[in-house]
């Protein structure tokens, strides 16, 4: 946090069911792990080019066609919208499926655990930041079948659905975030 910045609230979350994955052409190429870089450095150039072209992201999970029917819409706005930017930034960090949303007296930001699976201590990396003025509202309790659902509503009219990891934290987090608006 910045000097003199005050944390208002934080909430562990995951994306809501049916939130689309950003298109591949909007995502940055993944960085190979340290071991992969060391191995590539020892390969002949022609083989190295073949290997580096083969660094693909994990396959996208199959979208559940019934998610929209069961849970409603999970995103509004295109990939150039504030909601789209949030999702692209989150996908580029390639961290854990869960993250942390935090709001301060000045800004919103998102963190993701980027530690390897075998590491017990989480390593959090900030992947997104926006001034408080970029968020129009955080609405909690918007899904009939999704406990802990919240909608991050941006001032450009776009929004994205997220789920509080602990559903009981959704309403207090949204209330705390709204206090300074």
Instruction: Please classify residue 27 by burial: count the beta carbons closer than 10 Å to its beta carbon, then call 0-12 exposed, 13-18 middle and 19+ buried.
Output: middle
The tens digit of pLDDT for each residue in 85-130 reads: 999 999 998 878 889 999 999 999 999 998 877 788 888 999 999 9
Residues 127-175: tens digit of each pLDDT: 999 999 999 999 998 656 678 999 999 999 999 999 999 999 999 999 9
CB atoms within 10 A of CB 47: 11
Q: Tell me, what DSSP letter sits at residue 25?
A: G
**CA 75 to the chain's CA centroid:** 13
Beta-bridge partner residues of 9 = 103
Beta strands in the chain (DSSP E): 7-15, 75-76, 98-104, 107-113, 124-131, 135-140, 149-154, 159-164
**Can you give the pLDDT at residue 138?**
93
Tokens of 124: 């959090």
Number of residues that this document lists for the chain: 181
Give 151: exposed, middle or buried? Use CB within 10 Å, 0-12, 13-18, 19+: buried
Question: Three-state SS for 26?
Answer: helix
- Give DSSP secondary structure letters for 120-135: SS--EEEEEEEEGGGE
């Amino acid at each position: 946090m910045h000097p003199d910045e005050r944390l208002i609230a934080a909430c562990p979350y995951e994306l809501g069911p049916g939130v689309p994955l950003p298109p591949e052409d909007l995502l940055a190429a993944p960085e190979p792990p340290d071991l992969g870089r060391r191995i590539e450095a020892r390969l002949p150039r022609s083989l190295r080019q073949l290997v580096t072209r083969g660094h693909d992201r994990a396959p996208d999970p199959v979208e559940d066609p019934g998610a929209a029917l069961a849970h409603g819409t999970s995103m509004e706005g295109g990939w150039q919208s504030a909601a789209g930017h949030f999702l692209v930034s989150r996908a580029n960090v390639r961290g854990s499926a869960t993250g942390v949303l935090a709001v301060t007296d000045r800004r919103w930001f998102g963190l993701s655990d980027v530690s390897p699976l075998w590491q017990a201590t989480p390593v959090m990396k900030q992947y997104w930041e926006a001034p408080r003025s970029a968020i129009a509202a955080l609405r909690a309790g918007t899904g009939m079948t999704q406990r802990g659902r919240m909608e991050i509503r941006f001032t450009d009219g776009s929004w994205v659905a997220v789920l509080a990891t602990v559903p009981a934290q959704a309403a207090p987090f949204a209330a705390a975030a709204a206090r300074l608006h």
